[in-house]
């Protein structure tokens, strides 16, 4: 008799657990979507990108970078080592210039691929923009964008490697202006450059 009662109690308990689980599934409904923070950030970046590049022809290197989804960036070595370094753990460039390049690419809605050139090496044709040390580094004057000044080293420039038109240069200039006016540039500088 006790075995029968235990068996009935076990069956009843299993039925209640099963019914409870099924009931919970029905009450909970479908799984909730992932956090909307990423989609909101993506929408904001998209809106800013459209505003900053409005009216620019989608041609030349700007078009090519967007199609590849990558802004290829080179850094010419400089005696001013506060602006970048190689992360020894992963062997990748880190610091102010790589983060600035990443922010520029983000505003173009693509990713950046940053490399540090060897001493005396010139950027290849696949490179879109080059962060130069003091001076113009042999870049065409029309392709230079000043971005950083120190009394010790003078102006540093970004050289936009254009093949036709100047849409990428104008886009980068507008993005730098936006970063200056919103304080993004100053935040990057404070986060990465020693005082």
Domain residue extents for the chain: 1-32, 37-192
What is the architecture of the domain spanning 37-192?
Answer: 3-Layer(aba) Sandwich (3.40)
Contact 49/71 with Cβ under 8 angstroms? no
pLDDT tens track for 12-66: 333 333 334 444 333 344 455 555 777 888 899 999 999 999 999 988 899 999 9
How many residues are there in the chain?
195
Confidence class for position 86, pLDDT limits 50, 70, 90:
confident
pTM recorded for the entire structure: 0.77
Confidence (pLDDT) at 34: 55
Q: What φ, ψ does residue 69 adopt, rounded to 5°? A: 80, 15
Residues 6+ apart with CB under 8 A from 97: 75, 83, 84, 114, 131
> Rounded to an integer, what distance in angstroms lies between the CA atom of residue 156 and that of residue 120?
17
């Amino acid at each position: 008799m006790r075995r029968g009662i235990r068996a009935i109690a076990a069956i009843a308990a299993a039925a209640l657990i099963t019914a409870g689980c099924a009931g919970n599934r029905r009450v909970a409904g479908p799984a909730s979507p992932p956090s909307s923070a990423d989609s909101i950030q993506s929408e904001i970046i998209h809106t800013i990108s459209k505003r900053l590049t409005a009216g620019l022809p989608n041609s030349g290197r700007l078009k090519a970078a967007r199609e590849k989804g990558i802004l290829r960036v080179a850094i010419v070595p400089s005696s001013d080592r506060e602006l970048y370094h190689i992360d020894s753990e992963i062997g990748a460039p880190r610091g102010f210039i790589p983060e600035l390049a990443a922010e520029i690419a983000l505003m173009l809605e693509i990713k950046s691929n940053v490399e540090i050139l060897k001493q005396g090496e010139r950027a290849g044709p696949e490179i879109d923009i080059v962060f130069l040390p003091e001076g113009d580094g042999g870049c065409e004057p029309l392709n230079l964008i000043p971005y950083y000044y120190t009394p010790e080293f003078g102006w540093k420039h970004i050289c936009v490697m254009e093949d036709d038109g100047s849409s990428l240069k104008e886009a980068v200039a507008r993005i730098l202006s936006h970063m200056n006016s919103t304080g993004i540039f100053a935040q990057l500088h404070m986060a990465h450059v020693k005082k």
